[in-house]
Amino acid sequence: MINTLSRYKYAFFLGCVFLFFANLSFGQEDSVLVIKNEKEKPIAFGTSPDWMINGASSEAKGTDLEKTFTSNFANRLFGQLPGLTIQQYNTEAGEDSPNMFSRGISTTYSNSILVIVDGFESSIENLVPEEVESVTLLKDASSTVLYGSRAANGVLLVRTKHGSNRSLQVSLSTQQGIQSSYNMPEFLGSYDYAKLYNEALANEGKAPVYSEEDLAAYQSGSDPYFHPDVDWYNEVLRKVAPIRNYDLSFVGGSETVNYFVMLNALSSQGLYKKTEDISDNSINSKYERYNIRSNIDIKVSPAITANFKIAGAIVNKDNPAGNSTYDIFSKLRKIAPNAFPVKNANGSWGGNNLYSNPLGDIIESGFYSSDARTLQTMLKITGDLSVITKGLSISGAVSFNDYFQSFSSKTRTYQRFSISEDGTGETIYNPIGENTSLSGNEGGSVKWRRYTLQGIINYDREFGKNRVSSMLYLSGNNYLLRNADTYDLTSFPYRHNDAGGRFTYARDQKYVAEFSFGVSGSENYPKDNRYGFFPAASLGWVVSNEKFAEKLNWLDYLKIRASAGLVGNDAIGGERFMYNSTYGYGEEYYLGTNNSNIFSIQESTYSNPDLSWEKSKQMNFGIDAVIAKRLSMTLDVFQEKRTDILAKPYATVPMFLGIQLPDLNVGEVENKGLELTLCYQSNTNSDFSYSLEGSVWYAKNELTYFSEAPQLYDYLYRTGKAVNQPFGYEAIGFFKDETDIAKSPIQSFSSKVLPGDIKYRDMNKDGVINQLDIHAIGDTETPTTTFLFRPSFNYKNFDFTMLFQGVAGRTVYLDGDFYKAFQNDGKIGEVALGRWNQSNKENATYPRLSSENNTNNFGVYSSFWQENGNYIKLRNVELGYNLPKNFMAKLGLSSARFFVNGTNLFSIDHLEYSDPEIMNGYPPLRNYSIGCKVQF
């Protein structure tokens, strides 16, 4: 049992140090130190002059994020923050939240970044750039350690806009755009489908299904009902869909009150064809969001200020045919073009016993709606305690975040007909299903609440050439998640108690030393192991302020910095409260003359009484420089060693014990890399000016220990490989003929291997291809290298910007129905035109066609279906024009800007038939828009 004093013994000790600094005069009178580079940048729980920051961070302005037009704020961060890796797998509005990683992958479970909005944990998906001042990524231990056991994966700080002491300024903007899909899968039509299906049958020694008459009918299109040729994508989807954004903001204030108020509305219509006017059983696909924010700063008295923030978002989403587009897109990828017509000759819906009609589904099967409400409030009171000692202040804050989402589902079945002919040529309509009335389900909902209390003491003072800055904080966080009608372990609140401090000393604007610490506690760990202490230290040297640097006229600024520390990650995976033993039903016992069965109770997975969070030892070395007033550079080199990762102890506990092994803190990962940013800025005083910015960041990890069970061969171990390293069979070509098959190792994945099937490497040379031949193939989906290039140009009133973002060191897997011709009664894509056959043995790029499911070719993970996932994308481009000032004055405007904008306009990659990010489901989108912004 840890008592209260021992929990905070480090905070108590450092608090004494804090008070010592608060009254230290260094034997000199107070003075104002003139500092050239006093730009304030966000840091944990505050801001600091740029030159005093020793930690590694990168920053993006909210105005830069406006140039990417998407419904999800997180997807505007592609390429904006060096060190931030983003992976997007879905583009459907409302379902398009990406994965975000700081400095790559460092653990086997959660690498998610901690997101802080205006000082409190929050989400960013529903933010809009018009309300955001800046986004800062904190990357090393020195920057993040104050967040203790939740800091190891990096911290994303979002600062929203504030008012200022000025007259009212009103800004009004609108952006109107269209979204279109690209890199859609290209499937073959009915004629090619039937012809190649006969080929697949012939490969298996079977008779053809389609006659020459059938092929002729498919080719000519003369029989659209019994020989249809349906492009289901074209039937269900439209070419473009609108997306719109409207923003109205008010900013201003006086010496007493400053304010920023914003109203925003965004709407995005889905790619489905509009069906609401066709049937009362359907609804148009759309996503609508309304944001409001009010940030008010009040000077209550000369010594007391109050900050009150309230923000909310209302999100409404509608979809025909259910709550997810996955089922519809799955059918679009699977249903053969000749399976059935969209509608039969009598106007009824076509269909068969295997598949429903995708267009009929979105028109007749009902619809789904969800309504979400988010409320975020914060009240902070700050008191100036200069009456005690100069530079001392104290603040207290409370934050309340609430989220509620309700679901409404209306479903029905509808009748469709498969058709056949009788002996006289008459059409027979065979009914499938029946028409029913709409049935509603209104009971679904999700709700969470988060309460946070926070207290901070700050001290910032200058003594001649010395500057002391220090901070202590306490915080309590309570998060409760409830799903409707569910009261399992997720109904227990998640609690975090945190404390920490930062002590910074700077001398003569040349030398900066800092010590930071965090103390974190969580209810998810045993009582004797709930609190952890996380320290970090950093040093900085502003070389350009040394006397010997005065002669270097070309060197405007040079700082060398280094940091090291220990941080934690409590998002470790597994079940909650794994330190407790759990029990469940076991074997049955049959008792009495009636053989009544009684279940036994037995221990489930064994507990881990020493359960703890992951520990991350981080080191960072950085250089910041400005050369000839034009070229700026930032370089960071880092190393991280993550320990205490959860893993099952297969290496030490044999499986023949017959127990469910617990998760223990035994895994280890090492991650290291570098980040480099260069920016050249031309002379801004001329009519023409430009800037060129380029960044590259690299991170490579290795799973150094994972307690794996002993393996027969070294290549079977995951240890020593990258986290999430793909393991599979190595494809070495196609079988040429029966002789080749007879001389090759036995492949036992299907009943019979035929010429044209994929051939795999026998790693252990035992003459059989099986699980013992699996080994590391390709790279992970997470890139090791990310880079950006952002040129911008200004000529008089015109401005032009572009953002290229790319990745390298990445492999994707060509999975899904498009790549699996005829499998699971599916269709065939253009990729299969390079199939192996007797006339294309040497140049084949695809295995032989199979009418039945072929496990050998499609059912095992192999290098054959891996592809280079590297790409370069034009993430955004914008051309703007600012009206001349004299013309705006006549209109009563302070500024007016018109612009045209494009998002995700093109991609240079290695994939011919799909996008390297969005491989399946809702297609990738590109946006085109026009807009204007006026201020008065």
Tell me: the pLDDT tens digits for 634-688?
Answer: 999 999 999 999 999 999 888 777 788 899 999 999 999 999 999 999 988 889 9
858 conformational bin, left if phi > 0, alpha if psi -120 to 50, beta if neither? alpha
Torsion sign over Cα 917, 922, 927, 932: negative
* Residue type present at position 427: T
Element housing 201 (H / E): helix 190-203
The rounded distance, in Å, linking the Cα atoms of 285 and 238 is: 12
Nearest residue to 604 (alpha-carbon basis) of 582, 588, 624, 589? 582
CA dist 64 → 80, 133, 343, 935 (Å) = 8, 10, 49, 18
Quote the radius of gyration of the chain (alpha carbons, Å). 32
Contacts of 695 (CB under 8 A, 6+ apart): 79, 82, 675, 676, 677, 678, 787, 788
| Predicted pLDDT at 595 | 80
The rounded distance, in Å, linking the Cα atoms of 128 and 263 is: 10
Angle at 818 between CA 726 and CA 872, to 5 degrees: 60
pLDDT under 70 in the chain at which residues? Answer: 1-38, 482-491
Cα 287 to chain centroid distance, Å, stands at 19
184 with 923: CB under 8 angstroms? Answer: yes
The rounded distance, in Å, linking the Cα atoms of 18 and 515 is: 12
Could you identify the residue written with the tokens 């025909």? Answer: 320
CA dist 1 → 7, 10, 529, 570 (Å) = 10, 17, 9, 20
**Overall pTM surpassing 0.95 (yes/no):** no
44 conformational bin, left if phi > 0, alpha if psi -120 to 50, beta if neither? beta
| Predicted pLDDT at 491 | 67
CA dist 719 → 295, 641, 735, 748 (Å) = 50, 15, 33, 28
| Predicted pLDDT at 816 | 87
> In terms of residues, how long is the chain?
936
Could you identify the residue written with the tokens 């049937």? Answer: 279
3-state secondary structure 220-276: HCCCCCCCCCCCHHHHHECCEEEEEEEEEEEEEECCCEEEEEEEEEEEEECCECCCC
Nearest residue to 251 (alpha-carbon basis) of 312, 293, 290? 293
Cα 464 to chain centroid distance, Å, stands at 47
351 with 340: CB under 8 angstroms? Answer: yes
Nearest residue to 725 (alpha-carbon basis) of 852, 848, 619, 861? 861
